[in-house]
């Protein structure tokens, strides 16, 4: 606390990101990064872009990157917005679409940045209580809110819904903007992108951090009708004209163009996820069926917090949330086959 702090800064409870340890090398299964490197074509494009040209500002419109995303998703360039990670895109949505004092709604157990952005931008929120099996009760979203935020798959549960659930919501609340956060969609869920031309109240947000192995370069994007995209551009251009640096623009462009590497990497992670889920079940864990690059698990005999601490001592980081209703659950990111074999071996040793 400091006497120069604004009321907003004094009151806010900032988001706490997963640990990025510096003191020793852990098997990192705590922040849902991709365990594989980006495609060789991406690394080559980074090398090519690392030249004296970094003295020049990047393209403020990231036009080439938007073009590549538009081509991949078969939409128009003016239906694509890019930002410095999908966190920034989600943050920009608040001043773009919600007025201070408006209300939005999202599940009670979901991406923990949503309440933080709401507080930062003076937007009220109503949460919808997840069912006991962690499914989202779509019929419970309230009417009269200005926005609904829903990740698909949800985080940290990994549970996905069919797009007909999203479509029903879009139809039921035509005057509410529905923002679908698809950070993990590529690992087996169905994208709502094909609905953007049918519904002007839909915005889909995705990221290069997970399925495209670029968390360190911070690139995210939104797809929606051109009116929604223009609102995001207006916020961006009132904040920072150059949110995506030259290297990140080129790398992300190469990443979206290398479809073969993308599908191959996603498939590897999905295979490892399914195998790990079976092994964890054999060890007495309840495993929520996941369509993401992580598993949400709880053990019948050993408390999640104890497992978290013991795994850390063994050099493995996973995520434990001290949040009501999920304090006995762990979120485990999918690493390489070898990482997951070590995890299972260490857990087995803890069970004897």
Stretch that binds ligand PLP, among 81-89, 235-243, 262-270, 316-324 (CB under 6 A): 81-89
Which of 49, 79, 181, 258 contacts ligand PLP by CB under 6 A? 181
- What are the start-end ranges of the E strands in the chain? 27-28, 80-83, 103-107, 124-128, 147-151, 177-181, 202-207, 220-224, 285-287, 294-299, 316-317, 319-320, 330-333
x/- map, 246-285, ligand PLP, by CB under 6 A = ----------------------------------------
Q: Which of residues 207 and 298 has its CB atom nearest to ligand PLP in the complex? A: 207
Which of 62, 68, 120, 155 contacts ligand PLP by CB under 6 A? 155
Task: State the nearest-atom distance from the C-beta of 106 to ligand PLP, in Å.
Answer: 11
Which residue has 């099996």 as its token pair? 133
Which tokens go with 1?
């606390």
Contacts of 289 (CB under 8 A, 6+ apart): 158, 159, 277
Task: State the nearest-atom distance from the C-beta of 118 to ligand PLP, in Å.
Answer: 15
Which tokens go with 94?
């608040």
Axis-axis angle for helices 85-97, 113-120 (nearest 10): 40
Task: State the nearest-atom distance from the C-beta of 293 to ligand PLP, in Å.
Answer: 10
215 binds ligand PLP (CB under 6 A): yes
| Cβ–Cβ < 8 Å for 285, 307 | no
Stretch that binds ligand PLP, among 83-91, 93-101, 196-204, 246-254 (CB under 6 A): 83-91
x/- map, 34-73, ligand PLP, by CB under 6 A = ----------------------------------------
x/- map, 282-321, ligand PLP, by CB under 6 A = ----------------------------------------
Number of residues that bind ligand PLP (CB under 6 A): 13
Alpha-helix runs per DSSP H in 81-182: 85-97, 113-120, 163-172
Q: Which of residues 209 and 272 has its CB atom nearest to ligand PLP in the complex? A: 209
Determine the Cα–Cα distance for residues 69 and 21; give it in Å rounded to an integer. Answer: 33
Other CB atoms within a 10 A radius of the CB of residue 317 amount to: 20
Which of 30, 39, 86, 176 contacts ligand PLP by CB under 6 A? 86
For β-strands 330-333 and 294-299, DSSP reports them as: antiparallel
Q: Residue 287: left if φ>0, alpha if ψ -120 to 50, beta else—which one?
A: beta
Which of 30, 163, 176, 207 contacts ligand PLP by CB under 6 A? 207
DSSP character at residue 215: G
Task: State the nearest-atom distance from the C-beta of 212 to ligand PLP, in Å.
Answer: 10
115 binds ligand PLP (CB under 6 A): no
**Cis status of the peptide bond prior to 143, with omega within 30 of 0:** no
Stretch that binds ligand PLP, among 189-197, 207-215, 299-307, 326-334 (CB under 6 A): 207-215
Query: Which of 181, 174, 101 has the alpha carbon at shortest distance from 143?
Result: 174
188 binds ligand PLP (CB under 6 A): no
| Contact footprint for ligand PLP (CB under 6 A) | 32, 85-87, 111, 151, 155, 181, 183, 207, 209, 215, 220
């Amino acid at each position: 606390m400091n006497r120069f702090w604004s009321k907003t800064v004094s009151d806010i409870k900032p988001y706490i990101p997963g640990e990025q340890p510096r003191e020793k090398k852990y098997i990192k299964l705590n922040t849902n990064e991709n365990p594989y490197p980006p495609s060789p074509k991406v690394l080559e494009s980074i090398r090519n872009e690392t030249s004296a040209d970094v003295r020049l500002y990047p393209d403020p419109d990231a036009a080439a990157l938007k073009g590549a995303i538009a081509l991949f998703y078969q939409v128009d360039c003016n239906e694509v917005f890019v930002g410095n990670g999908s966190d920034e895109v989600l943050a920009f949505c608040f001043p773009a679409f919600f007025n201070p004092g408006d209300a939005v709604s999202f599940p009670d157990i979901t991406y923990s940045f949503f309440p933080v952005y709401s507080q930062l931008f003076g937007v009220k929120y109503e949460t919808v209580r997840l069912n006991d099996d962690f499914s989202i009760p779509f019929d419970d979203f309230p009417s009269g809110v200005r926005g609904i935020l829903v990740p698909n798959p949800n985080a940290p549960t990994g549970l996905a819904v069919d797009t007909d659930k999203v479509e029903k919501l879009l139809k039921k609340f035509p005057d509410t903007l529905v923002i679908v956060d698809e950070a993990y969609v590529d690992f087996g869920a169905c994208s709502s992108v094909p609905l953007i031309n049918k519904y002007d109240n839909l915005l889909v947000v995705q990221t290069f951090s997970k399925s495209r192995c670029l968390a360190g370069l911070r690139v995210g994007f939104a797809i929606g009708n051109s009116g929604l995209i223009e609102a995001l551009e207006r916020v961006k251009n009132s904040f920072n004209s150059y949110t995506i640096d030259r290297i990140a623009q080129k790398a992300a462009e190469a990443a979206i163009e290398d479809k073969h590497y993308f599908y191959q990497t996603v498939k590897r992670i999905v295979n490892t996820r399914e195998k790990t889920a079976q092994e964890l079940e054999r060890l007495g864990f309840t495993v929520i069926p996941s369509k993401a690059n992580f598993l949400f698990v709880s053990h019948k005999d050993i408390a999640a917090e104890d497992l978290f601490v013991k795994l850390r001592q063994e050099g493995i980081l996973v995520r434990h949330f001290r949040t009501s209703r999920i304090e006995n659950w762990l979120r485990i990111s999918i690493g390489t086959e070898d990482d997951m074999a070590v995890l299972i071996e260490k857990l087995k040793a803890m069970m004897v």
